[in-house]
């Protein structure tokens, strides 16, 4: 399962209903935190995500995306955490994240590693990778995509039995691409019993960014695109000045990238919790759009399960 729980969905100013930026991504029992605005640790308690993440990914170093880190580290220390924690961020990670780590090191007995990433980098994680993309915002900023590797094709058990291959280890061998020799001497090739490889899932997060061709390229084929939509079109000039996106621009990225679902986040405090004007603006371009809310969980399905 891949599921995203939104912990903070406001832009720079929190509201009574929206905390500042953060979300937890869970994939098959592993947890990854993205950004860590002030109060993130309380949101993690409130929405039951747990504290078992081993990695935190920062899109950039503005305070509404980072100030929750010292408190989170201190709480983890008080919970007697011993597992290492790795922090990823764009250029300047050691300076910016290092200063925040120093503030939170009281009672911290576990190792904290800081890793600087650059656009175009691929971070290997076994059955999936994190791709680092280019974002366009004030200061150094990146976007991220979780990209699962292709899965094995579907195995045809009935056909295997009809060919005289009994259920057992040889099923696994041929499913993994190894030919099987029957007692008759016939060699059964994997392609006879196994369908084409099936694509894995892809989740893309824009961070804070104006719309760019690089963001569109990163988002292509995503099952879920989490894109900032700080403003509506009526504030387009303000969006340009602050290097943010409007809801319509985020929806245009989703439409042109052919994503499965768009979730808008980083909503300005000038809009209500439901932000109906932003939703209508986005849906006029890309129908399968929702506005993120604190505590909302979105599950990401395989394309064949939708």
Q: Which residues of the chain have pLDDT under 50?
A: none
User: According to the model, what pLDDT value does residue 14 have?
Assistant: 97
Give, in degrees to the nearest 5, the angle at Cα 197 between 196 and 199.
130
User: According to the model, what pLDDT value does residue 269 have?
Assistant: 96
Q: Give the pLDDT confidence of 250-296 residue by residue, as tens digits.
A: 999 999 999 999 999 999 999 998 999 999 999 999 999 999 999 99
User: According to the model, what pLDDT value does residue 21 have?
Assistant: 98
Instruction: List the beta bridge partners of residue 89.
Output: 116
First to last CA, the chain: 13
Examine the residue annotation and report whether 129 is marked as an active-site residue of this protein. Answer: no
Q: Give the pLDDT confidence of 74-104 residue by residue, as tens digits.
A: 999 999 999 999 999 999 999 999 999 999 9
pTM for the model stands at 0.90
User: According to the model, what pLDDT value does residue 17 have?
Assistant: 96
CA dist 262 and 107 (Å) reads: 40
User: According to the model, what pLDDT value does residue 192 have?
Assistant: 81
From residue 170, how far is each of 163, 165, 182, 235, 240 by CA, in Å?
12, 7, 10, 62, 60
User: According to the model, what pLDDT value does residue 304 have?
Assistant: 66
Q: Which of 64, 208, 223, 294 is flagged as catalytic?
A: 64
Q: Specify whether the CB–CB gap between 190 and 170 falls below 8 A.
A: no
Find the helix packing angle between 93-103 and 69-78, rounded to 10°. Answer: 50
Give, in degrees to the nearest 5, the angle at Cα 204 between 200 and 208.
175
């Amino acid at each position: 399962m891949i599921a995203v729980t939104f912990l903070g969905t406001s832009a720079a100013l929190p509201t009574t209903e929206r905390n500042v930026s953060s979300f937890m991504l869970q994939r098959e029992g592993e947890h990854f935190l993205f950004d860590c605005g002030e109060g993130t640790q309380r949101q993690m308690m409130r929405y039951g995500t747990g504290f078992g993440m081993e990695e935190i990914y920062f899109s950039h170093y503005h305070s509404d995306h980072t100030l929750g880190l010292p408190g989170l580290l201190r709480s983890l220390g008080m919970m007697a955490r011993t597992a290492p924690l790795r922090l990823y961020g764009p250029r300047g990670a050691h300076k910016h994240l290092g200063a925040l780590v120093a503030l939170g090191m009281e009672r911290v007995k576990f190792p904290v590693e800081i890793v600087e990433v650059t656009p175009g980098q691929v971070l290997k994680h076994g059955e999936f990778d994190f791709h680092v993309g280019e974002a366009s915002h004030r200061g150094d900023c990146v976007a991220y995509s979780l990209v699962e590797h292709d899965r094995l094709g579907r195995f045809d058990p009935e056909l295997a039995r009809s060919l005289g291959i009994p259920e057992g280890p040889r099923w696994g061998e041929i499913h993994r691409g190894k030919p099987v020799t029957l007692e008759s001497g016939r060699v059964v090739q994997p392609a006879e019993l196994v369908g084409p490889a099936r694509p894995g899932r892809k989740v893309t997060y824009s961070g804070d960014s104006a719309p760019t061709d690089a963001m569109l390229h990163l988002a292509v084929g995503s099952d879920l695109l989490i894109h900032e939509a700080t403003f509506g079109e009526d504030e387009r000039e303000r969006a340009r000045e602050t290097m943010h996106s409007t809801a319509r621009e985020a929806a245009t990225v989703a439409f042109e990238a052919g994503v499965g679902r768009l979730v808008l986040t980083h909503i300005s405090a000038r809009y209500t919790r439901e932000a109906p004007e932003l939703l209508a603006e986005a849906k006029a371009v890309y129908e399968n759009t929702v506005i993120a809310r604190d505590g909302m969980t979105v599950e990401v399905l395989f394309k064949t399960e939708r």
